[in-house]
Chains A and B, each alone.
Chain A
């Protein structure tokens, strides 16, 4: 039975996939995971998951198969527009107009 092992390097960090191992049950999987992913203090905690419990979603359901790139913002040069908006807002404040709305940066 194949088990997927996720490692947390330090307390509070996200768990990341470390690798997989073969073990007949959870007790063995735990022992081998400690050995393979925890013996040298390289992990703070481990998640051990049966591979069959991992639901994999992949292409074509993840990738964009339809032509909907109009939904994407790649074409807009936000950087320039943001810069202009900030300059305008600074000018307006300097000229005694109302301050810009919060949260825009």
Chain B
């Protein structure tokens, strides 16, 4: 995998992890607060692992890749940038769509001819199993809830844009939905910039410091 592909994966996980972590302390109830924060944290952990691989190719380090690039240089899909707090239905709709799509992506990477990529994907997949269980149980619970259904409808084109075009059929099949025009990776939403400002605030406060 080239560095740009690795960065796309890492950026997706970092930005989604960051968005999900916005629920820490304000989730609908305490048990969920703990569970969702923990999921956010493992997403950021996965981002770190992909950044490490990209860093080797680019001669950089994971922190620099995560925090020192300009917002325009991030390769994440618009899907993960959207800010949903305090809308729990949208949050769960994205969580469920993301985990379903991510499963397809990770399982494809487990077949990679690069041993480092395949073994990292396998390790990540084991942790993702918990995310999938969590996402599925929420989707089952909210399935008939109109706000959740609307959110899934609205986010579907974004979810497709997370995957490479050749993987999208599998997502349609997994969810029993028809393909639509995807919101593609490449352009950023307006919501990335304020996220980036906050995410890199401390790091930028003392440039070049060793923490």
A36 at the binding interface (Cβ < 8 Å): yes
Q: Is the CB of B140 within 8 A of A27?
A: yes
| Range, interface on chain A | 10 to 19
**A28-B137 contact, Cβ under 8 Å, with A22-B29, A34-B130:** yes
Q: Is the CB of B137 within 8 A of A31?
A: yes
| Binary B-proximity of A35-54 (CB < 8 A = 1, otherwise 0) | 11001000000000000000
Q: Is the CB of A21 within 8 A of B38?
A: no
Q: Which chain B residue shows the least CB distance to A28?
A: B137
A32 at the binding interface (Cβ < 8 Å): yes
Q: Is the CB of B35 within 8 A of A31?
A: yes
| Binary A-proximity of B130-151 (CB < 8 A = 1, otherwise 0) | 1001100100110000000000
Q: Is the CB of B31 within 8 A of A27?
A: no
- List, in ascending order, chain A residues with CB within 8 A of B201's CB: none
A89 at the binding interface (Cβ < 8 Å): no
A24 at the binding interface (Cβ < 8 Å): yes
- List, in ascending order, chain B residues with CB within 8 A of A31's CB: 35, 130, 133-134, 137
- List, in ascending order, chain A residues with CB within 8 A of B30's CB: 22
- List, in ascending order, chain B residues with CB within 8 A of A23's CB: 31
Q: Interface SS of chain B: helix, strand, loop or mixed?
A: helix
Q: Is the CB of A32 within 8 A of B34?
A: yes
**Chain B: interface residue total (CB-CB under 8 A):** 13
Q: Is the CB of A35 within 8 A of B29?
A: no
**Which residues 139-170 in B have Cβ within 8 Å of A in the complex?**
140-141
Alpha-carbon separation in the docked complex, A40 to B34 (Å): 14
**Which residues 1-46 in A have Cβ within 8 Å of B in the complex?**
21-25, 27-28, 31-32, 34-36, 39
Partner pick for B38 among A22, A24, A35, CB 8 A cutoff:
A35
Q: Is the CB of B137 within 8 A of A21?
A: no
- List, in ascending order, chain B residues with CB within 8 A of A32's CB: 31-32, 34-35
Alpha-carbon separation in the docked complex, A22 to B32 (Å): 9
Alpha-carbon separation in the docked complex, A105 to B34 (Å): 53
Partner pick for B34 among A24, A27, A36, CB 8 A cutoff:
A36
- List, in ascending order, chain B residues with CB within 8 A of A39's CB: 38
- List, in ascending order, chain A residues with CB within 8 A of B35's CB: 31-32, 35
- List, in ascending order, chain A residues with CB within 8 A of B140's CB: 27
- List, in ascending order, chain B residues with CB within 8 A of A21's CB: 31
Q: Is the CB of A36 within 8 A of B31?
A: yes
Alpha-carbon separation in the docked complex, A32 to B134 (Å): 9
| Binary B-proximity of A43-85 (CB < 8 A = 1, otherwise 0) | 0000000000000000000000000000000000000000000
A/B interface sample: 27 pairs, CB < 8 A: A21-B31, A22-B29, A22-B30, A22-B31, A23-B31, A24-B141, A25-B141, A28-B31, A28-B137, A28-B141, A31-B35, A31-B130, A31-B133, A31-B134, A31-B137, A32-B31, A32-B32, A32-B34, A32-B35, A34-B130, A35-B31, A35-B34, A35-B35, A35-B38, A36-B31, A36-B34, A39-B38
Interface positions of B (Cβ within 8 A of A): 29-32, 34-35, 38, 130, 133-134, 137, 140-141
